[in-house]
Amino acid sequence: MEDVIKAFRCREPEKRIPVLRLELDYELALLYEALLENNTHRVDQCKARLQELRQEMLQLEAL
Protein backbone atom coordinates (compact mmCIF):
# COMPACT_ATOMS: atom_id res chain seq x y z
CA MET A 1 0.00 0.00 0.00
CA GLU A 2 2.86 2.36 0.78
CA ASP A 3 4.21 1.87 -2.73
CA VAL A 4 0.89 2.90 -4.24
CA ILE A 5 0.83 6.05 -2.14
CA LYS A 6 4.43 6.76 -3.14
CA ALA A 7 3.58 6.38 -6.82
CA PHE A 8 0.65 8.76 -6.54
CA ARG A 9 2.77 11.36 -4.75
CA CYS A 10 5.21 11.38 -7.64
CA ARG A 11 3.76 14.15 -9.77
CA GLU A 12 5.80 13.36 -12.84
CA PRO A 13 6.04 9.60 -13.44
CA GLU A 14 7.14 10.23 -17.03
CA LYS A 15 10.36 11.70 -15.60
CA ARG A 16 10.86 8.86 -13.14
CA ILE A 17 10.48 6.00 -15.63
CA PRO A 18 13.70 6.74 -17.62
CA VAL A 19 15.67 7.04 -14.38
CA LEU A 20 14.13 3.81 -13.15
CA ARG A 21 15.20 2.05 -16.36
CA LEU A 22 18.78 3.19 -15.76
CA GLU A 23 18.60 1.90 -12.20
CA LEU A 24 17.33 -1.45 -13.49
CA ASP A 25 20.17 -1.69 -16.02
CA TYR A 26 22.74 -0.85 -13.35
CA GLU A 27 21.34 -3.39 -10.92
CA LEU A 28 21.32 -6.05 -13.64
CA ALA A 29 25.00 -5.31 -14.31
CA LEU A 30 25.73 -5.72 -10.60
CA LEU A 31 23.83 -9.00 -10.59
CA TYR A 32 25.84 -10.25 -13.56
CA GLU A 33 29.10 -9.42 -11.76
CA ALA A 34 27.90 -11.13 -8.60
CA LEU A 35 26.99 -14.24 -10.58
CA LEU A 36 30.43 -14.30 -12.20
CA GLU A 37 32.05 -13.97 -8.77
CA ASN A 38 29.72 -16.64 -7.36
CA ASN A 39 28.85 -14.23 -4.52
CA THR A 40 25.50 -15.57 -3.29
CA HIS A 41 24.96 -12.82 -0.71
CA ARG A 42 25.38 -10.09 -3.33
CA VAL A 43 23.20 -12.03 -5.79
CA ASP A 44 20.40 -12.11 -3.21
CA GLN A 45 20.79 -8.37 -2.56
CA CYS A 46 20.62 -7.59 -6.27
CA LYS A 47 17.56 -9.77 -6.73
CA ALA A 48 15.78 -8.05 -3.86
CA ARG A 49 16.59 -4.60 -5.25
CA LEU A 50 15.48 -5.65 -8.73
CA GLN A 51 12.17 -6.82 -7.29
CA GLU A 52 11.66 -3.41 -5.65
CA LEU A 53 12.47 -1.60 -8.89
CA ARG A 54 10.16 -3.92 -10.82
CA GLN A 55 7.26 -3.17 -8.50
CA GLU A 56 7.84 0.57 -8.81
CA MET A 57 7.99 0.31 -12.61
CA LEU A 58 4.72 -1.61 -12.73
CA GLN A 59 3.04 0.98 -10.54
CA LEU A 60 4.28 3.88 -12.63
CA GLU A 61 3.26 2.27 -15.89
CA ALA A 62 -0.22 1.64 -14.50
CA LEU A 63 -0.71 5.37 -13.95
Write out pLDDT tens, residues 9-53.
555 777 788 888 999 999 999 999 999 999 999 999 999 999 999
More confident residue, 12 or 2: 12
pTM for the whole thing?
A: 0.77
Full DSSP string of 2-54 = HHHHHHHH-S-HHHHHHHHHHHHHHHHHHHHHHHHHT-HHHHHHHHHHHHHHH
Q: CA 12: distance to chain centroid?
A: 17
Domain of 57 in residue numbering reads as: 2-62
- Cβ burial of 10 (10 Å; 0-12, 13-18, 19+) is middle
Q: How many domains does the chain have?
A: 1
